[in-house]
């Protein structure tokens, strides 16, 4: 009995840890997309956040300084993204892909300049890493984001920037300014997501350590119907599927032959497909998503 | 006009980048996705090549592939630039080397971890199961719970070979012990996912394992973090990784890719290149377990003695280490 209890406890802990970077990234995507800007650059934003956080934590010995560094770096790359897609009105998918490639190349390069190794930053002492703070921070941000979008005036502006930018414009609010701020805040959040990878879930930045999590977060956002709480629940579900597959590997479910590892490993993806295919119902994107705003 | 001049200058500068001096032997090194600084597999190859560069008069160029589709164009473009020897690191390059070596019969190729036939190809293979057997025995002699863990990057035959040898070595000293085995992922990202490796390690430690061996490239860092947090032991792979977290890394399973690459480059530069397969096992010190100032306190004399005895028996052929490649 106590063994099973310990197992459940471990599974829950693992779920919360694994879903934390996804939560940050999904919130980042949510902010941008509710404001009408597609953000497939989450992966790249997380990567620069992960590197900057590791570097800042290494320099100061404080994980909070690391988190701040990660958020700042995410915001800087997001500014570049905003410049190309809002100011210069380039295609958001193309520009987002370019940001991902830029980050994938830039981070090992910067790492090489700083630490003489393109593979990883030196590893952080336990004191320069987070205990469980990022989990609380992520869930706190989910609630803040939900309340803000729902109850505040500026939250309303963000929603209008994505649904009906013309109406927002005729109310005298600059659509592009709202979008700029949303993208920058999103960049900072994604940077925090990256930071949670490098200074919470591991002890250094290493190349391409996001391993597709930015895209997982995007999927969570879509099947959370672009709403904070359902998107967070989707992240948690992904995290749970991942944590569960870790524990199911090599376990014999029936008979004495374990299920092949590859079948277990498709679990998170299978869950995604099943949930997307039937369980969530219709998921509708913000109406003006992906359309640059231009005054007539 | 000024702009035109600028472009022209840049273009000319690009043309005059350093080329090999006359008489220098030209060597190209192609890393796989882990990259030159993975502190493991690719790093070992780079060390070997760097040593060759310091000791011999060679020109060394090294490139990294960003994904598995990049190997073929990379190898082709290097072959076209008449390098004397192209060294491909990693099993993922096997198909590309096979194809390109046939198209450029005058260029010599070496490939690590894969067996590619051809009159101009040298295959450098390691007997991973033998080295893994030794670290498995060390794990068994150190474990107090009788449970140990294994974490592989991907579930591929090469990594199963590590696992099988490790398990056999462990069972040799702890016949009733248990091995918990996990794999990180199904794509190349698995070699770069320390966060996932750490979760796997935490789950294995939670299930009672007190020593974990990981063969997962750059993901190994996640295991070391988990070992440090849980105050348990980890075993490194390929390069000597003992220094990364002293006190928590029991030993490392060494694959002397550095020696293999060094020897191959030196032979080729002295026009003594031979094609065919060369195997590196315990007998010729191609694989081994690492002992240095970082872990000598973790391995008592009795453990070392026992392991060295097992090593001698394997070399003498008294112990047959099960080999996944020959498993039916």
The answer to the question of residue B285 being in a domain is: no
What band does A267 get if pLDDT is binned at 50, 70 and 90? confident
Tens of pLDDT, residues A193-228: 999 999 999 999 988 899 889 999 998 998 888 999
CATH number of the domain bearing residue B208: 3.40.50.2300
**Residue B100 sits in the same domain as residue B152:** no
Residue B4 pLDDT level (bands cut at 50, 70, 90):
low
Asked if residue B198 is part of any domain, the answer here is yes
Cβ count within 10 A of residue A270: 13
Closest Cβ–Cβ partner in A14, A126, A206 for B194:
A206
Neighbours of A233 (CB within 10 A): 16
Residue B138 and residue B132: Cα distance in Å, rounded? 10
Mean pLDDT across chain A = 90
Domain total of chain B: 2
Give the pLDDT confidence score for residue B200 in this predicted structure.
94
The β-bridge partners of B233 are B211
pTM equals 0.85
DSSP sequence for B311-322? HHHHHTTSS---
Same domain membership, residue B148 and residue B231: yes
Domain assignment present for B291: no
% of chain A exceeding 90 in pLDDT? 66
Asked if residue B103 lies in contact with residue B79, where contact means CB atoms within 8 angstroms, the answer is yes
Nearest to B149 by CA among B166, B161, B165, B133: B166
Q: With respect to residue B319, please indicate whether it lies within any of the assigned structural domains.
A: yes
CA distance linking residue B300 with residue A89, whole number of Å: 66
Nearest CA in chain B to A119: B37
Task: Encode B76-105: b = buried (16+ Cβ within 10 Å), e = exposed.
Answer: eebbeeebbbbbbbbbbbbebbbebbeebe
Q: Which fold has domain A2-279?
A: ABC transporter involved in vitamin B12 uptake, BtuC (1.10.3470)
Show residues of chain A in contact with B225, CB under 8 Å.
Answer: 123, 202-203
Examine residue B179 and state whether it is found in any structural domain, yes or no: yes
Co-location of B147 and B198 in the same domain: yes
Q: Which of A3-7, A25-29, B184-188 has the lowest mean pLDDT?
A: A3-7
* B118 in any annotated domain: yes
If asked whether residues B50 and B195 sit together in one domain, one would say: no
- Specify whether B244 is located in the same domain as B195: yes
Which has more confidence, A258 or B222? B222
Question: Using CA atoms, how far apart are residues B73 and B79, in angstroms rounded to an integer?
Answer: 10
Tell me which chain A residues have a C-beta less than 8 angstroms from the C-beta of B180: 250
Residue B7 lies in a domain: no
CB interface of B with A, residues 215-234, below 8 Å = 218, 221-222, 224-225, 228-229
Verify that B199 and B322 share a domain, yes or no: yes
pLDDT in tens, B30-65: 998 778 888 888 989 999 999 999 998 899 999 988
Contact A119 B194 (CB under 8 A): no
> What is the rounded distance in angstroms from the CA atom of residue B115 to the CA atom of residue B133?
22
Domain that holds residue B134: 128-255+298-326
* Nearest residue of chain A to residue B43 (CA atoms): A119
């Amino acid at each position: 009995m106590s063994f099973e209890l310990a197992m459940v406890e471990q599974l829950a802990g693992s779920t919360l840890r694994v879903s934390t970077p996804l939560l940050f990234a999904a919130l980042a995507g949510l902010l941008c997309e509710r404001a009408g800007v597609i953000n497939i650059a989450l992966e790249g934003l997380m990567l620069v956040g992960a590197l900057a956080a590791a570097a800042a934590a290494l320099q100061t010995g404080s994980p909070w300084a690391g988190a701040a560094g990660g958020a700042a770096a995410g915001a800087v790359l997001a500014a570049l993204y905003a410049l190309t897609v809002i100011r210069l009105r380039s295609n958001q998918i193309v520009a987002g892909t370019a940001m991902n490639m830029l980050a994938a190349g830039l981070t090992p390069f910067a790492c090489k300049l700083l630490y003489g190794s393109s593979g990883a930053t030196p590893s952080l002492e336990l004191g320069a890493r987070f205990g469980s703070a990022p989990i609380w921070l992520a869930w706190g941000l989910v609630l803040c984001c939900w309340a803000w979008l729902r109850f505040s005036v500026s939250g309303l502006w963000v929603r209008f920037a994505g649904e009906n930018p013309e109406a927002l414009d005729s109310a005298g609010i600059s659509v592009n300014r709202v979008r700029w701020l949303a993208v920058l805040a999103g960049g900072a959040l994604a940077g925090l997501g990256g930071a949670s990878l490098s200074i919470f879930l591991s002890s250094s930045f290493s190349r391409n350590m996001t391993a597709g999590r930015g895209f997982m977060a995007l999927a969570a956002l879509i099947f959370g119907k672009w709403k904070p709480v359902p998107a967070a629940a989707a992240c948690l579900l992904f995290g749970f599927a991942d944590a569960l597959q870790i524990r199911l590997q090599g376990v014999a479910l029936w008979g004495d032959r374990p299920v092949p590892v590859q079948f277990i490993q498709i679990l998170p993806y299978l869950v995604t497909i099943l949930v997307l295919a039937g369980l969530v119902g219709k998921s509708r994107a913000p109406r003006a998503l992906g359309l640059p705003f231009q005054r007539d | 006009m000024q702009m035109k001049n600028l472009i022209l200058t840049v273009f000319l500068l690009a043309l005059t980048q350093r080329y090999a001096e006359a008489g220098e032997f030209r060597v190209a090194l192609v890393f796989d996705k882990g990259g030159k600084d993975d502190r493991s597999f690719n790093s070992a190859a780079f060390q070997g090549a760097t040593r060759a560069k310091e000791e011999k008069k060679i020109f060394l160029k090294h490139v990294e592939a960003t994904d598995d589709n990049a190997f073929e164009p990379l190898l082709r473009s290097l072959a076209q630039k008449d390098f004397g020897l192209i060294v491909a690191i990693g099993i993922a390059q096997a198909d590309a080397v096979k194809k390109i070596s046939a198209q450029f019969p005058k260029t010599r190729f070496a490939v690590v971890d894969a067996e590619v036939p051809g009159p101009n190809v040298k295959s450098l293979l390691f007997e991973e199961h033998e080295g893994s057997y030794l670290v498995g025995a060390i794990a068994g002699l150190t474990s107090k719970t009788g449970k140990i863990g294994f974490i592989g990057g991907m579930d591929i035959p090469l990594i199963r070979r590590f696992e099988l040898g490790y398990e056999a070595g462990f069972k040799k000293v702890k016949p009733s012990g248990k091995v918990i085995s996990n794999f990180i992922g199904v794509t190349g990202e698995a070699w770069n996912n320390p966060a996932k490796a750490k979760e796997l390690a935490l789950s294995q430690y939670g299930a009672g394992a007190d020593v974990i061996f990981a063969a997962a490239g750059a993901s190994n860092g996640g295991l070391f973090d988990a070992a440090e947090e849980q105050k348990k032991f980890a075993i490194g792979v390929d390069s000597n990784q003992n220094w990364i977290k002293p006190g928590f890394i029991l030993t490392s399973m060494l694959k002397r890719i550095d020696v293999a690459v060094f020897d191959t480059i030196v032979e080729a530069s002295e026009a003594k290149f031979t094609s065919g397969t060369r195997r590196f096992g315990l007998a010729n010190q191609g694989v081994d377990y690492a002992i240095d100032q970082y872990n000598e306190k973790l391995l008592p004399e009795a453990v070392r003695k026992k392991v060295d005895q097992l090593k001698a028996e394997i070399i003498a052929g008294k112990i047959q280490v099960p080999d996944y490649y020959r498993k039916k």
